[in-house]
Structures are given as C-alpha cells and as structure tokens.
Amino acid sequence: MTQQVYLDNAAASPLAAQVRQAIHKAEERYGNPSSLHNTGQQARQLISDARQRIAALLHCEPEEVFFTSGGTESINTALQGVAREAQQGHIITVQTEHAAVLETCKYLSSQGFRITYLPVDYKGQVRLEDLKNAISKDTILFSYSAVNNETGSTQEYAKIAELCRKQKIPIHIDASQYGEPFDTRHADLVSMSGSKVHGPKGTGLLFVQIGTPVQPLLFGGGQELQLRSGTENVPGIAGLAEALTLSPAHKKHSITAAQRLRKELLQLDGVTQNGGSPQSSIINIRINGVEGETLVKHCNTKGLYISAGSACHSGHLRASHVLTAMGLTKEQALSSVRLSTSYLTTPEDIIRAKTIMQQVIAQLRELNNTVHTHTI
C-alpha cells in the first residue's frame, strides 16, 4: 500500500486523539443544556467549563466567548453584527481575505455600506500607511486575517491595533489559520474554527470584547449569551476546548515541520515561495513550467495530498485572488500550490513529499516539452 502524506491541514486537520476522547465523553451528556433537570444541567456545566477554559487561553472573560458552527458563521456574525448595529458606515478589509469575509463585505456593500479593500505588498502584508489613509470619520470596522489561508502571510498585529485604537476603530481578526488561541489584546472581535486546530468540524468561536456593539444573526432562544440562538453542540464544544488547549504545543511542532519542508522544497529546480512567514505552517510555492492543479492531481495518485493555488469555477481555472493581489501574474498564480503541515508531520513525510514533488515536476515538464515539440 502506498504511504500517504497529508499536507493539506489548512483545509482540514485530523482530529487529535485527546479531542476524540473528549467528544465521546461529552456525548454522554445528552441533555438539553436549557433544561432545568440534572441531565440538562450536566450538559450546561460542561459548556460552562469549556467556556472558562477557552477564556483562560484567550486571556479574556468567559462572557466574551461565544460558540458557533465554525469560522464562516463567526466571521459573518462579527461583520454583519457590527454593521447591523451601526446601520450605516464604512468597513475596511484586505484584498487577500478569505471568501467568508469578501462575500460578506460584498453583501454589506449591496446594503449601502461602503467597503475599502486594502492592497498588500509582495509578501502579502498590509502597509500601515494605506490603512491609515483609508480610515474615515464613518469607519465602523477593520477586518483582516491573522494568517492568510493560502500563503501563511502574517500581519503586524500590535501596530495595526495601535493605529486603529487611536482612531477608535474596532478590529475584527479572522484567526482561523493562526493555529492556537490568538492574543485578544490586539482585537475587539476574533473568529476561530475548530477544524483547523485538530478539533471537530462544525465548531468555532467568536470573541467579542465587552462593550463592542454586535447584533445577532440567529434569533430564537438566545442560548449563546443572547448573541446566538440554537441548542448548543455540547460534544463539539467540549472537543473545541480540548483542541485549543492542545494547540500551542501542536503549533510549535507544525511550524518546525514547515520550516524543514520549506527548506527542502526550495532546493527543487524552478521553485519559488509566494509570501508566507517562518511562523506559519502554511507554505505556498510556484513551480516554473507546471500547472498547479495538474501537479496536485498527479501527487494525489502517489499518495501526497496538497492543494492547488487556484480554484475551478464552471470548468475554468481561475487564478488565486490572493496571489494576484501580491503581484503574481495569472500564469504564476496558476503554477502555484499550497502545502500545510501539522503536529503529525514527520521528517519521513517531508522527505517523501520532496521526492514525490521532484518526480512529478520532472514528469510534467517532460510532458509539456513533448507536447510543445509536437505542436511546433
């Protein structure tokens, strides 16, 4: 059987063993947390314990932690919640954001809100001067990612926070790809996803600093401290708390593995890194003379699982908006792929990944040369 190497953890990470145990244990608390009897109150206590654990990790108050169904809901609650409260105004975000942010901003634009999309430099970073110039009297929010989901590029969190707070502009940070609890001192709202930190899919959280005006998206029983309605996912919440507790140690290993992998990949002929950060487990590279999606498919047949730097829409390849915003041409963007490590990534995985990449790249270049020769 072919040895499999999974390097697509930025898309979804496998459940950690301890997380799976926490979920199974919590499944015994089957009562509705809103019920007054003992079974319900046992489930309620489990949620309360998880909220306190996570608050300690985030260095915030328990009442500032709200559980959601994932990163997308958290982002929508943050952006739409602030916008609904303000009713009108100006929102600043970044051209390289995740679709959950960009599509929400597109919707808010249709509702009369003015949206500014900041450009980035070749590293994928926002220029502070651009942010400063974009702020106006009616700016109600600045939303950006702690770590870009395609390239791993990071931002200057402290400097951004200092600039926005001088102007009294609330900050939302999408920390889904940060890999561990984010320092909430740098933001007023922080969204996170369980599936990116070896937690259960369909879980997430939103940190909302006390005093930040946010209206709910989902109405009903107001189970999540009146900001979100719906019966709580007790096993999922327990799994999320366990995953976040383990995440600092997991992230340390992931970054070490990514640094080793990056070093090996950049030794390959015609391979260049796109943006990124040494403190991220996400690596984005472009390969001269090879189409990214084709490379991904061929690596898949050899047991190496990575991600393309482009998306397929209606049968047509579309270059990554992240990479083109960083200055890459369409051809360069379509020649890019993403690899992302985890705490499970071994030195043997890294060597095997390099070997497979080297073989496939050589095969595809030879095929391309043959096709080009016959065409001529």
C-alpha distances in Å from residue 243, one per residue of 14, 51, 197: 11, 13, 6
Cβ of 141: how many Cβ atoms within 10 Å? Answer: 26
Residues 326, 275: contact at Cβ < 8 Å? yes
With H, G, I as helix, E, B as strand and everything else as coil, classify residue 319. Answer: strand
| Close Cβ partners of 42 (under 8 Å, ≥ 6 residues apart) | 29, 31
Q: What is the pLDDT of residues 295-331, one digit of tens each?
A: 999 999 999 999 996 554 435 578 999 999 999 999 9
Mean pLDDT value across residues 143-148: 98
Catalytic residue among 60, 105, 299, 312: 312
Q: What is the pLDDT of residues 175-211, one digit of tens each?
A: 999 999 999 999 999 999 999 999 999 999 999 999 9
Spatial separation of the C-alpha atoms in residues 210 and 62, rounded to whole Å: 10
Q: How much is the pLDDT for 73? A: 98
Residues 232, 202: contact at Cβ < 8 Å? no
**Which residues face 190 on adjacent strands?**
173, 207
- Scan for tokens 């070490």, then name that residue: 256
Spatial separation of the C-alpha atoms in residues 353 and 304, rounded to whole Å: 6
Summary mean pLDDT of the chain: 95
Q: What b/e sequence results for 243-269 when a residue is b if at least 16 CB atoms lie within 10 Å of its CB, and e otherwise? A: bbbbbeebbeebbebbbbbbebbeeee
**Domain 17-246 CATH assignment equals 3.40.640.10:** yes
Share of the chain above pLDDT 90, in %: 93
Q: What b/e sequence results for 31-49 when a residue is b if at least 16 CB atoms lie within 10 Å of its CB, and e otherwise? A: bebeeeeeebbbbbebbee
The identity of residue 76, as a single letter, is N
Q: What is the pLDDT of residues 2-20, one digit of tens each?
A: 789 999 999 999 999 999 9
Does 312 qualify as catalytic in the annotation?
yes
Spatial separation of the C-alpha atoms in residues 167 and 242, rounded to whole Å: 37
Burial of 84 (0-12, 13-18, 19+ CB in 10 A): middle
5-12+248-374: CATH topology is Aspartate Aminotransferase, domain 1 (3.90.1150)
Domain with CATH 3.90.1150.10 in the chain: 5-12+248-374
Tell me how long the chain is.
376
CA atoms within 13 A on the CB side of 149: 26
The pLDDT of residue 372 is above 80: no
Instruction: Name the band, by pLDDT with cuts 50, 70 and 90, for residue 368.
Output: confident
H or E, element range at 283: strand 282-287
Domain with CATH 3.40.640.10 in the chain: 17-246
Query: For 36-91, what is the HEC assignment?
Result: CCHHHHHHHHHHHHHHHHHHHHHCCCHHHEEEECCHHHHHHHHHHHHHHHHCCCEE
